[in-house]
């Protein structure tokens, strides 16, 4: 009996202890469960501050249109020959001299341009420090090629054809008279003396006139002097707006220095699409110097006129 009692007490104690262990384990599990629920990490949205992308404005690139000393190809002809400008001096005031617009028919006008280049090469001090000189000796290389077989520098002794035989050299490869292709009174059919000539499909239809137009628009020369032949005189330009005061001054200046007579206009016959008159329309002083004949350069006369113009633009 006693042993039975002891066994009962021991069994009760063991059962009680086991129950306590199971109870505690249950509490722990519940707590753990609660912990899992209450401590589940929440996803925090990190506040991101977006800094606007700063747009960098690139500095505006200003095209430097100032011609550098030396040789510059400004375009090509209908026959794909280079049209070349030669620059002398570094001053801000540009004076442009042009020859050979009528190619091989007026080849002596190109020779004046080449003479000027030789003079400036030998006498760089002849250019005032604030003046820049540009020479385009052959504006119509196609026409010169037809008569002389070259578009480069030549001499009068290289010309082997008669004046009559040189007439086809007046026009470019497209058969257009370039001095009828500019935007002043342009007409598809122009007149040269008593002969009808082509003025092109429209004003500036020809690559040669486009080249000189673009050059003038880019560089805005202070004055343009162009040589033609042959009438022996200095002629002012005008496109229905009256002769510019500066054009009048240049006409009289060149004429007085050279000895050529001065004329306010060329009125021997109606001219359409004339380059110099287009320059007047653009507000650029422009003077035509017509040599006395088709063979002589008359360099001493023209040199005096050139020197007077350069001195005029010296500050």
Q: How much is the average pLDDT of 291-313?
A: 98
pTM of the entire predicted model: 0.80
Question: What average pLDDT does the structure give for the chain?
Answer: 86
**Cα 238 to Cα 283: distance, rounded to the nearest angstrom:** 10
Q: How much is the average pLDDT of 222-242?
A: 97
**What pLDDT score does 289 carry?**
98
**What pLDDT score does 315 carry?**
73
pLDDT of 182 over the 80 cut: yes
pLDDT of 34 over the 80 cut: no
Query: Of 34-43, 153-162, 206-215, which gets the smallest average pLDDT?
Result: 34-43
pLDDT of 23 over the 70 cut: no
**What pLDDT score does 59 carry?**
57
For Cα atoms 211, 217, 218, give the angle at the middle one, nearest 5 degrees. 90
pLDDT of 26 over the 50 cut: no
**What pLDDT score does 267 carry?**
85
pLDDT of 247 over the 80 cut: yes
pLDDT band at 268 (very low <50, low <70, confident <90, very high): confident
pLDDT of 133 over the 80 cut: yes
**Cα 68 to Cα 32: distance, rounded to the nearest angstrom:** 89
Q: How much is the average pLDDT of 256-285?
A: 96
What secondary structure does DSSP assign to 3-59, as a single string?
HHHHHHHHHHHHHHHHHHHHHHHHHHHHHHHHHHHHTPPPPP-----PPPPPPPPPP
Q: How much is the average pLDDT of 214-232?
A: 97
Q: Which of 128, 62, 61, 58 is nearest to 95 (CA)?
A: 128
pLDDT of 260 over the 70 cut: yes
Tally the residues of the chain.
315
**Cα 5 to Cα 28: distance, rounded to the nearest angstrom:** 35
Percent of the chain with pLDDT over 70: 78
Query: 47-101 pLDDT, tens per residue?
Result: 444 445 555 556 565 555 566 789 999 999 999 999 999 999 999 999 999 999 9
**What pLDDT score does 85 carry?**
98
Q: How much is the average pLDDT of 159-186?
A: 97
């Amino acid at each position: 009996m006693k042993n039975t009692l002891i066994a009962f007490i021991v069994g009760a104690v063991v059962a009680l202890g086991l129950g306590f262990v199971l109870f505690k384990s249950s509490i722990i599990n519940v707590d753990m469960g609660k912990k899992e629920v209450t401590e589940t990490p929440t996803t925090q949205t990190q506040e991101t501050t977006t800094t606007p992308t700063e747009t960098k404005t690139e500095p505006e690139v200003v095209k430097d249109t100032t011609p550098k000393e030396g040789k510059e190809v400004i375009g090509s002809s209908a026959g794909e020959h280079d049209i070349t400008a030669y620059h002398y001096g570094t001053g801000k005031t540009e004076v442009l001299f042009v020859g050979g617009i009528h190619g091989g028919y007026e080849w002596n006008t190109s020779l004046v341009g080449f003479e000027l280049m030789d003079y400036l090469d030998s006498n760089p001090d002849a250019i005032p420090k604030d003046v820049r000189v540009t020479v385009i000796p052959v504006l119509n290389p196609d026409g010169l090629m037809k008569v002389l077989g070259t578009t480069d520098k030549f001499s009068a002794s290289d010309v082997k054809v008669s004046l009559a035989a040189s007439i086809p050299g007046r026009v470019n490869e497209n058969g257009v008279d370039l001095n009828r292709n500019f935007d002043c009174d342009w007409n598809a059919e122009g007149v040269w003396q008593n002969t009808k000539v082509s003025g092109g499909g429209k004003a500036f239809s020809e690559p040669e006139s486009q080249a000189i137009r673009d050059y003038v628009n880019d560089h805005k020369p202070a004055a343009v002097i162009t040589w033609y032949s042959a009438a022996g005189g200095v002629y002012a330009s005008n496109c229905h707006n009256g002769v510019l005061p500066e054009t009048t001054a240049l006409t009289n200046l060149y004429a007085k220095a050279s000895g050529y007579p001065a004329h306010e206009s060329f009125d021997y016959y109606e001219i359409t699409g004339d380059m110099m008159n287009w320059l007047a329309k653009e507000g650029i002083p422009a003077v035509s110097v017509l040599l006395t004949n088709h063979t002589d350069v008359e360099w001493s006369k023209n040199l005096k006129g050139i020197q007077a113009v350069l001195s005029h633009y010296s500050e």
